[in-house]
Amino acid sequence: MRVISYGGCRVDVGLCNLRCPYCVHLSEETEEVDVERIARALKGCRHVYVGGAEPTVHGDLVDLLRLLKENGSEVTLKTNGLLPRRVEETLPFVDRYVFELKGDFDDVRSVALLSGLSEERARRYVESLMKSIEIARSAGKKIRIWFRAIPEYIDENRFRKMMGRIGKVDEVLVYQFLSKPEWDKPFDDAEMPSYEFVRRLGEIAREYADRVIMVGERREEL
């Protein structure tokens, strides 16, 4: 498995099937590491988070998840949802899924720009993401929606409509774009939104989630 880093009850993998313009992971160095070695390093962790670039593009992901469960860990998997069949394969070994959304579902051009895909592939991506969310929901898994608030690509009305399409979830995390250099980088003329904008989105998200986390200049929960 190509990994950026592992340890501290977390695995960040390399490689991705999207080319998001703000992504910090695609430029990070990776190394090939056996999944057995990763699992040994994380033994004793009550919770393990598997994320980074995109875990589902790795052929040995299921092997890693199986080993983590055999260690007795609860596993959280973060994914863009582009590969529903791969998500389905992970169901026996994952307790919680984190799905990151890319802009307004109904604005294909924006989704294409934020994912680095053509508009046709962006349409298919949204369909695949919705299918992946439903796969996790039908299996009774916990779901967190991870949303990067970029004001040029979303507003309150569009966010509410998008959350309405997704439906009820356990958690929503709304992140203030560019507030953490380790999470994203600038692109085009996109600017960091005000924290007040992030909070307004968080209040909308509360209509669809039991718990809302807002991360940026400060951290709050609703």
* Coil vs helix vs strand at 36: helix
What string of pLDDT tens digits covers the 222 residues of the chain? 999 999 999 999 999 999 999 999 988 999 999 999 999 999 999 999 999 999 999 999 999 999 999 999 999 999 999 999 999 999 999 999 999 999 899 999 999 999 999 999 999 999 999 999 999 999 999 999 999 999 999 999 999 999 999 999 999 999 999 999 999 999 998 999 999 999 999 999 999 999 999 999 999 999
Q: How far apart are CA 113 and CA 150, in angstroms?
A: 12
Q: Do 2 and 30 touch, CB atoms closer than 8 A?
A: yes
Which two structure tokens, joined as six digits, stand for 46? 């009550």
Report residue 115 CA to chain centroid gap: 13
Domain range for residue 73? 2-221
Partner residues linked to 214 by β-bridges: 174, 220
Which among 143, 151, 138, 164 is positioned nearest to 200, based on CA atoms?
151
The pTM of the full predicted model, rounded to 2 decimals, is: 0.96
Q: Do 63 and 31 touch, CB atoms closer than 8 A?
A: no
- CATH number of domain containing 166: 3.20.20.70
> What is residue 103's predicted lDDT score, i.e. its pLDDT?
87
Q: Do 36 and 68 touch, CB atoms closer than 8 A?
A: no
Task: Give me Rg for the CA atoms of the chain.
Answer: 17
Q: Which residues contact 102 (CB under 8 A, 6 or more apart)?
A: 18, 20, 80, 111, 114, 115, 125
Q: Which helix (H) or strand (E) holds 195?
A: helix 195-205
As for how many domains the chain has, the answer is 1
